[in-house]
Amino acid sequence: MEKSLGTVVITGAAGRVGSAMRAGLRAEAERLVLVDRVGLCARSPTEEVRQFDLRDAEAVTAALEGADAVVHLGGVPDEAPLPELLDGNVRGTHNVLEGARRQGVGRVVLASSNRLTGFYPVSENVTPEMPPRPDGLYGVSKVAVEALGRLYADKFGLSVVCLRIGSFEDAPTERRHLATWLSPRDCLGFVRAALTAPGIRFTTVYGVSANTRRFWDIDAGKALGYTPVDDAEAFASRVPPEGRSADDPLQGGAYADAEYTLRHV
């Protein structure tokens, strides 16, 4: 396969999404810089590992030297006390964007989240242009992440793509996933397109598979040149009917429950 991506930095490379993107992009990058606060081992001559915390701004900037693009997946992955989310998600993203500005990185792909709009009803088709309605503090931190990306695109000319990642699973395991599932194949397709799509200053796209029951707009993905191919409906008969169902009135499902946030306050 032609190595067309140049040097790509992946933050949060030890995580579930990061690990999948590492494997998927390895053959296409001339150099893959893998960043995480836990130790990693290089698995090919093109891989380079860096172990540090994204709160270390100078380490972030150094890791981005010579990079053509960065896929920023690192941070706090779920509901947590607000100070932790601000530190891990907002401060970490700022360091990545500032490092990208200083090093002249050509494209920044930011991992946003579907939970930025989790308080919309399931009856509504939500587009990236609609106002945020986060279903918790984690969603609030992702609002800030997207705002930082917009600022750095508008003020400093960075090329930024925000991917609102759906439920990343090998296969749907609960009823909500019939609407929100993002398959590994589609996730890689979205990320690859976000890295290579020409002429983008700033855009936000829902990273979700072509699920029959989805409630997020996928037309914005056409700006990246990618159309998802998998559909959670193929797994509908295998998903347990127990618990919260796809008929929950809010898109965030259990994430929108008051108790889900109150335990972190």
pLDDT tens by residue, 146-170:
999 999 999 999 999 999 999 999 9
| pTM listed for this prediction | 0.96
Give 258's Cβ-side CA count (13 Å radius): 0
Pick the CATH number of 7-262 from 3.10.50.30, 1.10.287.610, 3.40.50.720, 1.10.800.10: 3.40.50.720
What number is the average pLDDT over the span 110-117? 98
> Parallel, antiparallel, or unpaired: how do β-strands 160-165 and 7-11 relate?
unpaired
pLDDT tens profile 170-214? 999 999 999 999 999 999 999 999 999 999 999 999 999 999 999
Tokens representing residue 31 in the block: 């150099």
Kindly list the catalytic residues.
Answer: 138
pLDDT at residue 125, rounded to an integer: 96
Q: Is the predicted pLDDT of residue 222 greater than 90, yes or no? A: no
Q: pLDDT at residue 33 above 80?
A: yes
Tens of pLDDT, residue by residue over 75-99, are 999 999 999 999 999 999 999 999 9
Region 31-36: mean pLDDT is 98
Query: 8: helix, coil or strand?
Result: strand
Segments making up each domain of the chain, as ranges: 7-262
Q: What b-and-e string marks burial along 38-49, b requiring 16 or more CB atoms within 10 Å of the CB? A: eebeeeeebbeb
